[in-house]
Structure 1
Amino acid sequence: MSIKNAAYISGTLFFGSINAWANGDSGSDYNCDYEIPSGQYLLDGDQMQIPPGSTVCLAPGERGPLRIKNITGTSDQPVVIRNRDNQVLFTPYEYSMALDNVSWVRVTSTPDPVSGGYGIRLGGTIGVGMLSHHVELDNLEIYRARFAGMLVKTDPNCNPDTWAENFIMEGVYIHDNYIHDTEEGEGMYIGYTAKSRNLVCEGEEITVYPHQLRDVKIYNNTLENIAADGIQIGAIQSDAQVTGNRIYRTGVSPFAPVWQNTGIQAGGDDIEISDNQIIESGGNGMMLDGDNIRVINNLVHSAGENSIFARNAAQQNSALSGGLPHLYQNNTLIKSANYGIKLYATNTSSAHILTGNLIETDGIMDVTGKYRTLSYLNDSVIREESNNRHYISAPSE
């Protein structure tokens, strides 16, 4: 392994060449341009003068939290932060990594050659904020977090750069991670969920609006034993995909009163949710809020409320209309406590499509005398149904 530059430590940047070998294998070259020792808690790209295309390696062993700021890569030359060779274990703390004002940065790991486990294991939240964008988080284990496992957003504040009209968070790619045993919050908390925020700035009360997100890809993650929602994304402007994730047992310790206990909660427009498995969510398997939402080929089993509950902005504001419809296609929805799909998205430009869905219920009728398969707010929910199938669960012995 060749390390071209040592780390920035205690205000001094040490240059040089360090040669070392991982596990005695002189044939392994990890191409580390910088190494961050376990006792260093700040990685400042400005101070270290980290150029695009660099690989920054974390020394193996136990360590405390790490703040990473002011790092800028490019689309062709992102900056990669990863384990050097053996496992890096972040001990339990409020946060493990905080990425502030970074762009075109990837945090990843390769498996520990000794245990075969993840090369980076985090005992606290990994946060991405302070106007960061184009960030990739992959192949990480978050084995404990007091609040959310991942927290990806910039809260609007008195700095106008953080306001919706001045900033959009783009290029958020999160994949192949294992997140489990959060104590109070979500597995992933992505995007600011409130519509606005009231602040006092320079003695004046103002209302500011949070940034939106676009180009968001969340795929192939495993989430287990999550206190609140499994995956929560909000303020999506366009082009979000949540696909191929495995989510087991969410809402195990939700906020009081009981809410934010879904498998996937998604808010915004132009969102695709496909090929996910959601098992034993405390509340709805999915809770969706927006227009042009496409839900395809998912499995939802044993949801504590509805397998899928969905609405849009028009349902909450009668002055709105004309949003693009939803698509629900080829989903398998098994044994939810309430309905298979409860759809409250109103006054769309054309009909919602519900086709090829398989719904299994316990056979109990609702107050209208119908099986609890598909339910609509009223006739303002325009819809077309085709080829949906209903089965009644076999009685347990």
Structure 2
Amino acid sequence: MSILLVNFVMLEPASGTSFSIGLELSVVDANLLGVMPGDTLILEPGKRRVIRINNIKGDSLNYVLIRNGNGDVIIENDDLYYGFVISNSSFFRLTGNVNNENNFGIKILKTGKGANGLGIGELSTNYEIDHLEIANTGFAGIFAFSQPTCDLIANRGFFEQRNCIFRNNYIHDTYGEGMYLGHSFYTGYTIKCNKEDTKVYPHEIKGLKVYDNLVENAGYDGIQVGCAVEGTEVYNNKILNYGTANEIMQHSGIQIAAGTKIRCYNNQIITGSGTGITMMGLADSYIYNNLIVNPGKDFFPNDVALRIHGIFVDDRLIYKGTSHYIFNNTIISPKSDGIRFISTETSKSLLANNLIVNPGSNYTYETNDAKYIYLQKGADVRLDNNFFSNFVVPTMLVDSLNSIYESISNFPLSGKGIDISIYGVNQDLMGVPRAMIPSIGCFELPVKNNIFNVKKDDIDFLLNNETGLILIENKSIDMMKQVAIFDLSGRKVLNFSQNEPRFFMTNIKGLLRQGIYILSVERNRSVFKHKFVVVN
């Protein structure tokens, strides 16, 4: 074992050689320093304006480690075109987590206009990025891919980015995307080469993993993934208040761009200006167990033409005979549709076990269920055991998983899904094993027999005997006028004023004794009546 002194700082022993990168250094060439596989670069704690590290070359068994020393590394500027850059490097790990203390020891807290926080490119591959805090960037928090070039060395067919991991990072208050991973234009685009228009194709990415990140207040998409053709997983991320710049077409919670085949699951996407998950990638992808709350709810709320959805599926580059699989997502209060599926190039897609609550496009379509799941004419989709309701419990807190869980427990979801274990879905959002016949939605719920639910073509009636909640959705053009409850003798025991002609919600907990009652929904030209039992 050896220790190399850079700027005359002696470091604690490590496996391999340890190099100290002093505060005055802004550019480090790992090749010139003699960095070998298994070595460690230790960034001196303190403030610096920028840092660029080039030519790191580890190997698959011996990654080069880049980390902070015993204190925080702070990178901050407001006038330069980058913050932290790593180029032409492979088999390395950049971490702010010293001694497994689970902190953010590397902080990129500000960059100039148009500048990314962390940029990784110029043929970089096989790396891991974790425990960084990145904020107040002039563009993306993390920007990670190599731009196509006229000499073709970074282009598809000549370079492939592999096995990159982004985990346990805290990214917030970015001008652009929180994480911009892979190029947006898989099908190619035109650049000038020797003054001539030349079409180039971005390189592919294989083995990309993005998990356990917190992205908050991203100006554009929370996480964007493109050209990731194989082995892509985006999971367990929490994305809050995304799309703050209101940039149309660039403000999704998660944007899955062309050329991407993915498993996108167990993400929490809470309150943003755009669609929760936008899917424009390759089919034979899986989107499941995601919790999406309030997507686009406050985005030009009076302009119904600016549609924002829970999940949006479109064709960009699709291979014939491939399918989309969208399971067990919970979508609450999207501005427009719950799921809008306009892919007509795919076939035999399956949308199952999804819970969709309170979509904003209530009065948009003649077919009532289209506001929950809208299918483009010609889309080849099977719908199985999805549950729809227009009611949100008023006391639900969108920033509390417990509150959301308790609220949706009012619905008859337990044991109502279809078995999707053959697709590799065996747990829920929280890691709870799925039952053989799973619950609908992102949470696996305990079996309950106290929820009474009547679903007819023209009306839905739900009573939760445990909580006392009554929900009624009138799907007929014959509008509701009054809701009342009678006992079996015909005596009216409860009467409710009704201002909303389509939807009704109340709580009868403690108002009725145990027994059999009759619900009466009076409409302009008809009356719906149904018996129900109060058990406690």
- TM-score category, normalised to shorter length: 0.7 to 0.9
Q: Structure 2 residue aligned with 1:311, among 311, 314, 328?
A: 314
2:82 aligned with 1:95: yes
Shift in alpha-carbon separation, 1:104–1:346, aligned structure 2, 3 A: same
Which residue type is aligned with residue 263 of structure 2? E
Match of 1:188 among 167, 176, 179: 179
Q: Quick check: 1:82 aligned with 2:67?
A: yes
Deviates more, 1:205-214 or 1:356-365: 356-365
Aligned residue identity for 2:251: N
Give the total of aligned pairs.
370
User: Structure 1 residue 178 and structure 2 residue 170: aligned?
Assistant: yes
Residue in 2 that maps onto 1:333: 331
Q: Distance in 1 between matches of 2:154 and 2:359?
A: 48
Distance 1:357 1:395, change over 3 A: closer
Once residues 178 and 4 of structure 1 are traced to their aligned partners in structure 2, the CA distance between those partners, rounded to angstroms, is 32
Aligned to 1:250: 242
* Structure 2 counterparts to residues 1-397 of structure 1, below 5 A: 4-7=3-6, 18=10, 33-93=18-78, 94-110=81-97, 117-123=103-109, 124=111, 125-182=117-174, 184-194=175-185, 195-255=187-247, 258-267=248-257, 268-290=259-281, 291-304=283-296, 305-313=308-316, 322-348=320-346, 350-362=347-359, 364-371=362-369, 372-379=371-378, 381-394=379-392
Shift in Å, 1:274: 0.3
- Aligned equivalents of 1:377 and 1:211: distance in 2? 32
Instruction: Note the C-alpha offset of 1:111.
Output: 5.8
Amino acid in the other structure paired with 1:271: I
Note closer, same or farther for the CA distance 1:19–1:33 as it changes in structure 2 (3 Å cut).
Answer: closer
What is the rounded CA distance, in whole Å, between the counterparts of 1:253 and 1:327 in structure 2?
A: 31
SS across alignment from 2:184: coil
Alignment check: 8 A CA contact 2:103 2:131 kept: no
CA distance in 2, matches of 1:362, 1:346: 23
Displacement after TM superposition at 1:4 (Å): 1.1
Q: Displacement of 1:135 after TM fit?
A: 1.6
Higher relative contact order (CA 8 A, sep 6+): 1
SS in 1 for 2:279: strand
RMSD (Å), alpha carbons: 2.3
State whether residues 306 and 338 of structure 1, in contact with CA within 8 Å, keep that contact through their aligned partners in structure 2: yes
Higher strand share: 1
User: Which amino acid counterpart does residue 374 of structure 2 have in structure 1?
Assistant: S
Superposed displacement of residue 202, structure 1: 2.8
For residues 154 and 66 of structure 2, what CA distance do their matches in structure 1 show?
26
3-state DSSP class of the match of 1:186? coil
Q: Is the 8 Å Cα contact of residues 270 and 294 (structure 2) preserved in structure 1?
A: yes
Deviations 1:330-360 (A, max 9, x none): 1100000111111122232x41111111110
**Displacement of 1:254 after TM fit?**
3.8
Q: CA deviation at 1:366?
A: 2.4
Deviation at 1:112, TM superposition (A): 9.8
Q: 1:395 and 1:108, CA in 2 relative to 1: closer, same or farther beyond 3 A?
A: closer
Between 51-60 and 198-207, the greater mean CA deviation after superposition: 198-207
Counterpart of 2:42 in 1: which secondary structure?
A: strand
Aligned partner of residue 181 in structure 1, secondary structure:
strand
Runs of 4+ in 1 over 3 A off after TM superposition: 29-32, 394-397
The structure with the larger Rg is 2
* Residue-by-residue CA offset, 1:35-88 (whole Å, 9 max, x unaligned): 100110111011101000111100111112111111110110010100011111
Give the partner amino acid of 1:261: H
Structure 1 residues 52, 376: CA separation in 2 closer, same or farther (over 3 Å shift)?
Answer: same
Q: Show structure 1 runs of 5+ residues with no match.
A: 21-28, 315-319
Alpha-carbon distance in structure 2 between the residues aligned to 1:116 and 1:343: 40
Q: Structure 1 length as normaliser, TM-score?
A: 0.87
The whole-number CA distance in structure 2 between the counterparts of 1:248 and 1:165 is: 37
1:23 is matched with: none
Once the two structures are TM-superposed, the CA of residue 322 in structure 1 deviates from its matched residue by 1.4
Q: In structure 2, the residue corresponding to 1:160 is in which secondary structure?
A: coil
In 2, distance between residues paired with 1:112 and 1:120? 14
8 Å CA contact 2:67, 2:98 repeated in 1: no
Cα distance in 2 between the residues matched to 1:140 and 1:259: 28
CA distance in structure 2 between the aligned counterparts of 1:395 and 1:58, rounded to whole angstroms: 50
Task: Name the amino acid aligned to 1:378.
Answer: K
**Under a length normalisation based on structure 2, what TM-score does the superposition of the two structures give?**
0.65
C-alpha distance after superposition, 1:203-232 (max 9, x if no partner): 443211111111100000000011000000
| Residue 48 to residue 321, structure 1, CA distance change in 2 (3 Å) | closer
* CA distance in structure 2 between the aligned counterparts of 1:373 and 1:321, rounded to whole angstroms: 27
Q: Deviations over 1:250-304 (max 9, x none)?
A: 110143xx33011000122420000000011211001111211200100000001
AA partner of residue 262 (structure 2): I
Describe the shift of the 1:313–1:285 C-alpha distance in structure 2 as closer, same or farther (beyond 3 A).
same
